[in-house]
Structure 1
Amino acid sequence: MINKKQNDKMTVINGSHFSNLEGFYEEIAELFMKDENWKVGTLDGFNDILYGIETDITWENSQKSKEDLGFEVTKEFYEDKIRLGKPFNVKLIQQKLDDLVEGKGQTLFEILIEMMESHKNIRLILD
């Protein structure tokens, strides 16, 4: 976890800089983790760094990101974890995949938005 608080007035995530989850993580590393000795590479890791950030975040080109991190990419994300098996909870991931296919689950974009919005020290603006 990042120990110091980032007090920037505004941080911009630019959706035109990436088109997949790995690219999103790279964008986040560039914005928030320049002086860190580890890089975010999981959803849990992303959520962890949010605890050390205190800023307004504008997500530019969020509609592009919504499409890039939408249904198909999310479906592949879950299928890859199921294929890998351990250490992943395959039963839970299968349920998330089933929910997604049935129209009840969240896409990666929606998961990322929910994570950011759950942190009171962050104000998210979709642009």
Structure 2
Amino acid sequence: MNKASPITLNGLNFHDMDGFYTAIYSMMHLYEDWKPAHSLDALNDMLYSGFGKEPVQLVWEHSEKSRTDLGLQATRDFYQHKINQGKPYNINWAAKQLEAVNSREGATLFDIIVEIFHSHPHIELVLL
């Protein structure tokens, strides 16, 4: 991977998923009047081109704070919201995910985000 200037995501600048999405999208090259959805699917889609197609190093400072902020309780709340909301969410899927998280077998939101970043070969994620 060619070395690119690092982009810094500071975990002190957010404490929940909405704050994370706002922070990460503010670093991307987006159309001025376009606001991507605050969802994991949209994040994944945005990573194909949001930083451009060249290699990028994303340095996530204070990632341990983010691991806590986007950890078990945030993940439980995330799936419970989907269950409570109902359609258009898949309630059965969300209930299974919630059960896995409650039994400490499922991934937290932080883990899912890290996995999404790792699935994009042009992005080198550095957790600090």
* TM-score, with structure 1 as normaliser: 0.90
> Take 1:38 and 1:119, find their aligned partners in 2: how far apart are those partners?
21
1:1-127 residue pairs with structure 2 within 5 A?
A: 9-36=5-32, 37-52=34-49, 53=51, 54-127=55-128
TM-aligned CA deviation for residue 8 of structure 1: 5.1
> Take 1:102 and 1:79, find their aligned partners in 2: how far apart are those partners?
15
> Take 1:76 and 1:29, find their aligned partners in 2: how far apart are those partners?
22
* TM-score, with structure 2 as normaliser: 0.89
Q: Deviations over 1:36-67 (max 9, x none)?
A: 41234101000111111341100000000000
RMSD, aligned CA: 1.5
Following superposition, which runs of at least 4 residues in structure 1 exceed 4 angstroms of deviation?
none
- Tell me the amino acid that sits aligned with residue 106 of structure 2: G
Q: How many residues in Structure 1 have an aligned counterpart in Structure 2?
A: 121
Please tell me whether the aligned partners of residues 29 and 40 of structure 1 are also in contact (alpha carbons under 8 angstroms): no
> Take 2:4 and 2:56, find their aligned partners in 1: how far apart are those partners?
6
The gaps in structure 1 that reach 5 residues or longer are 1-6
> Take 1:72 and 1:55, find their aligned partners in 2: how far apart are those partners?
31
Task: Give the match's secondary structure for 1:75.
Answer: helix
